[in-house]
Amino acid sequence: MTSLTVVLGTALVVLLGLFFTLINREYRHTFFSIETGGQLTRRNFIEDNDVTRCDFFGCHESQWTSIRPKVEAWVRAGWKSWEKEKPEWFTDAFKASVPEAWIPKKNGRDEEGSEVREEKKDVIVRGGEKNRAVVARAC
């Protein structure tokens, strides 16, 4: 058993050495970091663009609690333009991941002047995976 451990340990060290020798030098730094997942999430939100930020809601809320006001301000400031421009990432799944309180209302009314109530529904998508979607209904 001990000789097997030595052989496997040696093989591991040799293969890791070979791996780091063969990979592109400019990417070596991506394998090592003392940055936590939460720190990375917050840094990406502050430094990146809307395309990257839209993935933000897929992270656990504990990773971005400290910048919650910035996230809310970003959503409130961009929502109406996103509805008009319809960027590729502005999907039903993204809309459902945003807290309803952050979504600006059109004076509480839809286009025809009827009251609008938003509710979340389970939607089955390809592969049987469930996503939440926002459905607007006239009351």
Nearest to 99 by CA among 68, 123, 130, 124: 68
User: What CA dihedral angle connects 100, 102, 107 and 112, to 10 degrees?
Assistant: -50
- From the list 69, 64, 20, 27, the residue with the least C-alpha distance to 43 is 64
pLDDT band at 107 (very low <50, low <70, confident <90, very high): low
Contact 115, 122 (CB under 8 A): no
Q: How many degrees, rounded to 5, is the angle at CA 66 between CA 121 and CA 87?
A: 45
Cut 0.85: pTM above it: no
Does the pLDDT at position 85 exceed 50? yes
